[in-house]
């Protein structure tokens, strides 16, 4: 992997583990001890993988778990969901897989989730230190063997009907992330590409945000990456975090 990685920033320090609790914790420890921008920790399985909104993340063998320490300027922090989900999309494209983004940064193939992204930011006394971008991809695993997720999740091997090397997926992922991170200042074009790839826009959706479920038409993204909904009474509502379900397909994206 190391030999194949021709990146400038992402992967300049690389830790590969067979198994760990959560790569997020290992990466954070390294960053706390001064590891540089672009430090990567990857594992072939996790015992305590975590997902967004306080959920756990299933990481058996056959999945890729990677956490990348990134230190963008604070004003560009809002671009991390965009560059990380676009990097996954581009990496999957090298395997001829057409995927799409479900807001904020789930990666979907034909409506089923293949990858989840968790971004955790570290601050000391109110000052921004670094972010840890956690990316979990279902590579070689038969989702059919897990009835609790079979309807909502897929994997690369399920889609391709063959297994792929986890290290190849990782290599493409880090390469694409490096390209996007290097041009993170180009925020307008990154945002445009992100919106183009986001299947959520233009649909009538339900967003579960905390205890509340909000219904509306996903009109556009705000410059912060929040989702702007048009409600039935014509008013708008900005959503910062939540789980999206598409209720009605539409084409006026």
List contacts with ligand BTN (CB under 6 A). Answer: 22-24, 46, 49-52, 55, 57, 59, 65-67, 106, 116-118, 134-136
Q: Cα separations (Å) of 48 from 56, 99, 124, 148?
A: 7, 27, 25, 18
The least distance separating ligand BTN from the CB of residue 128, rounded to whole angstroms, comes to 20
Distance of CA 149 to the CA centre of its chain: 18
Calpha distance 27→92 (Å, rounded): 24
CB nearer ligand BTN, residue 22 or residue 200? 22
CB nearer ligand BTN, residue 177 or residue 217? 177
The least distance separating ligand BTN from the CB of residue 119, rounded to whole angstroms, comes to 9
CB nearer ligand BTN, residue 77 or residue 170? 170
Q: Cα separations (Å) of 133 from 72, 159, 223, 232?
A: 12, 25, 20, 35
CB nearer ligand BTN, residue 21 or residue 236? 21
- Closest-approach residue to ligand BTN (CB): 116
CB nearer ligand BTN, residue 152 or residue 160? 152
The least distance separating ligand BTN from the CB of residue 41, rounded to whole angstroms, comes to 9
- Per the rule left: phi > 0, alpha: psi between -120 and 50, beta: everything else, 38 is left
The least distance separating ligand BTN from the CB of residue 73, rounded to whole angstroms, comes to 24
The least distance separating ligand BTN from the CB of residue 59, rounded to whole angstroms, comes to 6
């Amino acid at each position: 992997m190391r030999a194949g990685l021709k990146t400038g920033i992402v992967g300049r320090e690389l830790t590969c583990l067979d198994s760990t609790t959560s790569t997020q914790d290992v990466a954070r420890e390294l960053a706390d001890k001064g590891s540089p921008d672009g430090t990567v920790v990857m594992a072939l399985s996790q015992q305590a993988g975590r997902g967004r909104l306080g959920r756990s993340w299933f990481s058996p063998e056959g999945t890729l778990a990677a956490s990348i320490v990134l230190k963008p300027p604070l004003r560009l922090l809002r671009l991390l969901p965009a560059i990380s989900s676009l990097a996954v999309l581009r990496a999957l494209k090298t395997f001829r897989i057409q995927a799409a983004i479900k807001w904020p940064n789930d990666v979907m193939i034909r409506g089923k989730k293949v990858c989840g992204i968790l971004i955790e930011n570290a601050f000391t006394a109110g000052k921004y230190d670094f972010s840890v971008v956690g990316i979990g991809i279902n590579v070689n695993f038969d989702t059919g063997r897990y009835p609790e997720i079979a309807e909502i999740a897929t994997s690369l091997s399920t889609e391709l009907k063959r297994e792929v090397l986890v290290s190849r997926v990782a290599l493409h992922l880090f390469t694409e992330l490096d390209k996007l991170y290097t041009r993170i200042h180009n925020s307008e074009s990154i945002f445009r590409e992100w919106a183009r790839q986001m299947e959520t826009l233009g649909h009538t959706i339900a967003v579960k945000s905390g205890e509340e479920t909000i219904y509306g038409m996903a009109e556009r993204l705000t410059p912060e990456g929040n989702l702007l909904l048009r409600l039935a009474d014509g008013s708008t509502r900005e959503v910062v975090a939540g789980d999206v379900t598409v209720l009605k397909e539409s084409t006026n994206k």
